[in-house]
Structure 1
Amino acid sequence: MEAALTLKAVMIVMVVAHGGAVPITAPRSEAEVSKAQDYLSRFFSDVGVSAPKTVWRSSLDSYEDTLKKMQEFFGLEATGQLDSNSLEVMNRPRCGFTDVLRYSHFAGGPKWDKTVITYRVTEYTPDLTQREVDATLAKALKLYSDVTPLDFKQIDSGTADIMIKFSSRDHGDFSPFDGPQGVLAHAFSPGQGLGGDTHFDEDEVWTLSAQGSNLFLVAAHEFGHAMGLSHSKLQTALMFPTYQYVNTDGYTLPEDDVQGVQALYGVRSTTDQVTAEPKPDPLPPLRPVPKPHDEPEPTSAPVPDRCDAGLTFDAVTTIQGNLYFFKDGYCWRKTSSWDGISMKPIQSVWAGISKVDAAYEYKRDNTVFFFKGDQYWGFTGNTALPGYPKHIRDLGFPSTIDGVDAAVHVSFISRTFFFAGNRFWSYNERRGKMDRGYPKFIHRDLPGIGFRVDAAFENRGYLYFSFGPSQTEYHYVRRRDIRSFLNNEWMDC
């Protein structure tokens, strides 16, 4: 069996009567009735969510009886009429497993027949770092290992008991996701094959906060299903059907859920050792697989680890006040706001750009330029400018130069510096041509940064020059280096 979490917001329309608020019971639209029928068919019938969606085929009386059953479950007035309160509940964030069960466990009481449960993440989300995902999933599983004899062990290859992935739409289990703001995740009860597997909808925005979809809370709920728990009628329980954000600091498994999982596996001895911990660095490379239980084959370069002490950058630039770090087809976006650092494939942000050698922002035109080999592209936001790509010779480079290593627009002198080998050029954006007297040797005219540059950018009045895993903060007016540090110190590690 499978469970899923849905997310959608609605407005509750209320009227005042007899001194209190009551739901409006005006006739509902055809769309609202159809949606209610679909909801009741999916969550309050014997069809089950792992079966194909069926058309409601019961009589009006059966529909009303089922609606009453749903209203009773959620503590609403059981009128059998589709009022605004019932519609509001139907649209709350929730898990998709049916609510009408005889027990607090799945039918037949499936459970793991072992005490060490392995799990493996085959596809990560770019919304969070792999390190954050690993730590969050381990934290969610620890809720269960703290109160039962179960231990959880993450593995890097082969088939685990619980296979985990972030995917969108149809992802191979006959339960396709439905895009943003719909089903958040689903999990299967313990067993062979898909048993225990847990899938998260990549079309959602995954966070560790109250914004978007909180990965810890969603994962903890879905792992409850992967342990054999169904839903609880107690609203304070983790396994209550509807999703609601709560503060996750110091979160422990609510008592109702503790009783449910201990009924399956027993109580943990105080001498047992919990093994569900975040994986140590460096993180394993991501190797996507087409199906949860296929042996993975490497199909792409490893996803770079931003906390690697040997981290090098292909390019760095500011874009609309945020810093973007480029590496092996991916980019990290660093902001000063709550969401910190996020990672995405470059091509998912700027279509047609798969990897870059250099990048810079020209704020006056609100344009970002990307360089790869002997060509470059211009973008405004995420929109490619017409007429690109162009050859770098259009900028004034000689035919002997077949690419640039780094680029940075120095706003306080209104020049763009291009680096290639041990030399650099100065480009006048307004005149559209190279300045006379260039190229110059890097170590002579920019003393203190060495002989080569991999990436360069301006931030808060200083220039930053990166070569290999190290970086130099530079005061251009004084032509002196301020300090040196590792690239990964930008990465909040």
Structure 2
Amino acid sequence: MKRFLLMVVLCGALSCALPIVQEMEHISEKDMEFATKYMEKYYPESESITPDLRRRRSTDPSDKLQQMQEFFGLKVTGNLDPSTLDVMRKPRCGVPETEKFSTFAMSPKWGKKDLTYSIQNYTPDMHQADVDDAIERAWKVWSDVTPLTFSRVYGGPADIEISFAARSHGDYIPFDGPGGELAHAYSPAFGGNAHFDEDENWSTDLQGTNLFLVAAHEFGHSLGLGHSSVWGSLMFPMYHPSDPKYFRLHRDDIEGIQYLYGPPENDRVSSGTPTPPPKIPTVAPSTDSCDSRLAFDAVTTLRGESLFFKDSFFWRKNSPSAEAVKTPISEFWPALSSGVDAAYEVEDDDTVFLFKGRKYWATKGNIIQPGFPKNILHLGFPGNVKKVDGAAYDGYSKKTYFFSGNKYWRYDEAKNSMEEGYPRKITADFHGIGPKVDAAFLDYGRFYLFNGSNQYEFDYRTKRFLAIKKSNSWFNCQ
């Protein structure tokens, strides 16, 4: 269980030690100042650490920056680099990443099961009824997997108070305006109150900052959870704008909250012993184009059409509004009738490359070109690469991105060779998707990386995370 179950103490209650980061030539003084403030706020020196532990700690001045890089799956150097700065600039929760202890001496949990909350004020960005609904659903995320209940009170004292405020708002931990810190919450040891930055554009959807997603995260802090380093978990500190309709609490979050409170009462056995955390069921892959569980094997274009491969079939779409047509692969490429692992198109050459295991084919339309298949070693892969998981071609730079395992390569189509400096870890440059890619696609300056039934959208130039949607969102399902 990769979780830090700690008493969440915000930076204003701490003696924040100034971190020292090693400046690089391409990092400006303004960036250095920003990074220093970030580290002071989110990686402070905890007053709870014993003098003995503090004496035994590393004296390396870059220790804190290394801790931050390790937490976010970056290359751990202790140096301030563009990838680290990019993560620092992402919208996030205002609660610091605390020390890596499994528990804290002062247990961060409520001593009762029936908790009350009050909404002190409302954001003008949303209808009050929508705010009420988002808050109620956010509490339900946690009541569904614990014996806790949450009841709203009006006009009287409540265990947890919820409010919207901008900049300085009375707790000595001011918000920072639009972007950056979205909200923060206190642990049960400090009352559990949750504050949301009014300078954000709060919304019920993804047009602004989704209140439900942020509230569910903050209420995890209110109940005693720290941040998780597990990508995709609710308690990961970065905000991921995923469609709330498809929200599902991550197993890591379930394990964390049930460590504190146990499972729901009806999940306990007669002896009163908590049952193990529920396992997320494994669902058989779907080939229904509008099934939200649908996961693709490969995605590419072909002469203006988009192709989405799954098992022995693929769907063809010749325009965004067109209906997706399901077609057997055998009708186009009999040699690949059992399916493909990856695919990409070099439009200038009217060639699509298809990968299966250690072999790949070049095809113009449905005609396999002479001399194929070839072994992927021909492209410059090392011998331990057994298959290509995903591939995407950038027509502007004439470079192809290959994904395999937890790494990716960049191939220069003009020079017919892999570029130096690769492979790199996927998590080092594409933050949020996790260590593996099932399929990849480049379209109009956007990188689409597929992992299971989700697709992650990135800005191609900056690798900046933009959004997460269901993989079959291309199919105009109702």
Task: State the TM bucket, normalised to the shorter chain.
Answer: 0.3 to 0.5
What TM-score do the two structures reach when normalised by structure 1? Answer: 0.46
* Larger Rg, first or second structure (1 or 2): 1
What TM-score do the two structures reach when normalised by structure 2? Answer: 0.47
